[in-house]
Chains A and B, each alone.
Chain A
Amino acid sequence: MNDIDSRLDAYPALRPDERAEVEAYVRAHPEWAGRLAEAQAFAALLDAAADRGDLARYVVDERMGLDLDPAMTAALADDPDLRAEADRLRARLDALVAGAADPAATFERLTGRTLDRAPAPIRPPAAADRAAVRRAAPRRLPRWVALAATVVLVAYGGLYAISAGSLSDRARLADLADLPAYEPTSVRGEVEEALAVRLDATLDVVAEARRSTAGLFPRYDAEALDAVASDLEQIVAEAPRTSAVSQEARLALGRVRLAQSRDDEAARVLGTLAREGGYLGPEARRLLDAIRAGE
């Protein structure tokens, strides 16, 4: 193929048959594979902008009561095969949602906000619907049930306050609750990507290591934390020193060492991170200062 270089430059704008020609050429000349991968990634981005016929999105928007793509609505009216596919997707959606957590409860848990669960009616229900709604309406709970529920809630609230209050400044400093939420940030090659995924999986173990009773008096399994620390040390050893993965792994390692009360090791890791002045340097410095202040 003549001028593969310029063909790869133009790859996102090529027709499907032309893209296939380029791909066939690269299979026979693998020295161009890296360029092709980059071109394909950029092409995927541009293709996404042009792709307006997303049936899965249509089905989800339909269930969520959002505005629907009129072109897709028209296509569905005309095409029985498309309608059949939409029905399959709807069934899949129903199955998926049926097994998932209550989205409103998840929202409340993640944000700490309380929702008024009674949604505003979208339109006044018809008479038949109103009868159905009356039949489906839950009966009021007996007063003693409401009283018992209140007692349990108050007792739990008290225990929660004691649990939170019993945490020393030191324990709060060493709290690892947010570590499992780590997501890899930048991608600079396969090695770093693979390490970032390993780091993500390692930090997920922290969540599994957390022990508590009904969310009260949290603590961590010592063996599991040892394993996490060991994995983090390996990732630190393999990651390029200035990479985001290395910095994230070292900050996490410092925090795990703090949680294990191994302050000297925590200070060593965090001190290096703070001195290097990377983007996590200020956070490392904050923790280091707290250790030195004897919190």
Chain B
Amino acid sequence: MSMLSPEQLAQGVQDLPSLPAVVMELLGSIEQENIDISVLAKKVSYDQALTAKTLRLANSSSFGLQVKVATIQQAITFLGFQTTRNLITAAAITGCFPDGLCPGFNDKGFWRHSIATAACARSLARRLRFNQDVAFTAGLLHDIGRLVLVTGHAQAYTEVLAWRASHDSDWVEAERAVLGVDHVEAGVALARHWNFSDTIRQAIAHHHAPELAGAGFLAAIVHVANAVVHALDLAGEEDELVPPLSSVAWDAMGLNEEAYLDLFRETEQQLEEMSAILMA
């Protein structure tokens, strides 16, 4: 067993690759309305790779634009600031973790699951008249703690993979047994370090326990989206496992079967398109 101390977990977070400064600024301001858009648009456009990826995402059919946007400023004009800000952070975060650090860890499967959960959470939010952009980002980041553990403690995480395979357990259980911490704690530590908004941090913290008092509606949305994506078997993991679904969170969605079948279709379509862009 390779138990991680809180200090080792914190060190792993400190050692992570840093995000572009402008993305840090965007993440910290996710619920602020009064920030200077034109300055941010300019700062983002200095990063050509980030700009190109953001614009491809903005022009994908998931966002239903009738015209093709060619600049960040145009994306903001047509999609709004909130949506564009989320596309920029999605483009930045999916490119910032190195692949292949931990033998046996399926990086591609991880991102397919995260992107599908983002798309599914966004679709759920639309049906529930909740903020779609916040839901998208929370869905994308809900399991980010796993990358913290994989990136910072690759050797120890191979033991987690082995433990999970032999016990056929869920991830939280395997991580706790081997490391003494789980990806939820690691995700919350990263959310602090990267200055995610309180809402996003709460959703990461409670996506496995949405029925706890104070967990918030966003945690319920991410919890259901996560279960739906596992159930749709979209990540390409042979040992895919649907986690227990909280009946409190399920009830809170209040949707009928027809709505769920539409949600399944939408999630599958958007995953293929978005993963082609974000995982390029």
Are A and B a genuine interacting pair, yes or no?
A: no
Residues of B within 8 A of A (CB): none
Residues of A within 8 A of B (CB): none
